Amino acid sequence: MEKKDILILGIESSCDETSVAVVKNGREVLSMVTNTQIDIHKLYGGVVPEIASRNHVMNIDTVYTEALAQANVSIDDIDAIAVTYGAGLLGALIVGVNFAKALAYMTGKPLIAVNHIEGHIAANYIAHAELKPPFACLIVSGGHTALVEMESFVKRKLIGTTTDDAIGEAFDKVARECGLEYPGGPNVQKQAESGEVKYKFTNMDKEKIKDFNFSYSGLKTAVINFIHNHKQRGEEISVPDICASFQAEAVGQVVSKCKFALEKFGYNKIILAGGVSANTYLRNEMDKMAESIGAKVYYPPLKLCTDNAAMIASAGYFNFIEGKGIADPKTLVPTSNIEL
């Protein structure tokens, strides 16, 4: 390794994945070790915050040790420690943040506080070695549906945001209503693959696009009411058809707003970030739309779409080299809600 290389240790514990990674120069993953709690939370139909926190406590030290071992480095080789400080489940965040604070305090290494969504965006820097701002970015996660312009690696401008439910939340609620297991999003996608787009739940696509904000509560409620009404009348419902119809409408909204934004602001690059960017139908529809107007879509590989510490280390790197996000290891406080 050349002397000028910068190694960042990333730590992520905002929801139900305990993850630690070592990333070189913001783009090259030397190791990424993740302990997922999906099988535990599946039993409850969703993430139970208290159980998530306890499992982070039990696993973080092993995950950390394994991440250093797999990267074949020691903590002395690390230049800075990056940690998700929000948004997320508070008790879960506390585990990663306190671990990072103790490590930074003990070693005297800089501590970098990373916004989880900034991490999801940075997953694309790992996946696409040449990618650099400016570009438009669609954030589709469990907590957000938003369009931002990345002006630089550390500066972004909000174009449109979530007015009620986020797209991931809508996928998860529809999944639950259809009796599908947690995590809902991937299971809705799977069901949709064998279904047909038969139903029209809202008139969203007929409305003229007036702004870049996103709304999913109307669609979510319409699907829930549709299922309840059919069940009350004792009628059969087709879960695959409902999922296919819901997915088409949910994805249709983001695709048409992205098209409008690309045309209006003249961007030729748009990147996808957040858990819902793992959705194959969304990726395909975005590709088709972009191709039709001469733009290009970038998205991370599946393993970097879901929560992981490599993306946090990458975001940490770009902050670190700009002198941004440096936190005090004695006082950094995790925050459950932070601005995009």
| Shortest Å, Cβ 220 to ligand KG4 | 12
Tokens of 65: 């040790």
Q: In the stretch 88-117, what mask flags binding to ligand KG4 with x, by CB under 6 A?
A: ----------------------------x-
Q: Which is nearer to ligand KG4, 104 or 121 (CB)?
A: 121
Contact 214, 254 (CB under 8 A): yes
Contact 310, 21 (CB under 8 A): yes
Q: What is the CA radius of gyration of the chain?
A: 20
Told to check if 279 binds ligand KG4 by CB under 6 A, we report yes
Query: What count of other Cβ atoms lies within 10 Å of the Cβ of residue 87?
Result: 23
Binding partner of 110, given ligand KG4, Zn ion, none, CB within 5-8 angstroms per partner class: none
User: Per DSSP, what are the bridge partners of residue 114?
Assistant: 84
Would you mind telling me the total number of residues written for the chain in this entry? 340
The only residue of 10, 96, 110, 184 in contact with ligand KG4, by rule CB under 6 A: 184
Q: Which is nearer to ligand KG4, 10 or 168 (CB)?
A: 168
Cα→Cα distances 243→193, 253, 278, 284, Å: 9, 16, 16, 17
Contact 83, 97 (CB under 8 A): yes
DSSP-derived secondary structure letter, 27: T
Binding partner of 109, given ligand KG4, Zn ion, none, CB within 5-8 angstroms per partner class: none
Q: Which is nearer to ligand KG4, 82 or 278 (CB)?
A: 278
Q: What type of residue sits at position 281?
A: Y
Told to check if 253 binds ligand KG4 by CB under 6 A, we report no
How open is the CA angle 1-128-74, to the nearest 5 degrees?
Answer: 30
The only residue of 10, 91, 142, 316 in contact with ligand KG4, by rule CB under 6 A: 142
Told to check if 12 binds Zn ion by CB under 5 A, we report no
Helices (H), ranges, 86-213? 90-107, 116-127, 167-177, 184-193
The only residue of 96, 160, 275, 325 in contact with ligand KG4, by rule CB under 6 A: 275
For the segment 266-325, give every residue that binds Zn ion (CB under 5 A). Answer: 307
Q: In the stretch 143-182, what mask flags binding to ligand KG4 with x, by CB under 6 A?
A: x------------------------x--xx----------
Contact 30, 17 (CB under 8 A): no
Binding partner of 143, given ligand KG4, Zn ion, none, CB within 5-8 angstroms per partner class: ligand KG4
| Shortest Å, Cβ 16 to ligand KG4 | 9
Q: Which is nearer to ligand KG4, 87 or 222 (CB)?
A: 87
How many angstroms separate the CA atoms of 170 and 210, rounded? 22
Cα 262 versus chain centre, distance:
22
Q: Which is nearer to Zn ion, 248 or 340 (CB)?
A: 340
The residues binding ligand KG4 (CB under 6 A) are 116, 120, 141-143, 168, 171-172, 183-186, 189, 274-276, 278-279, 306-307
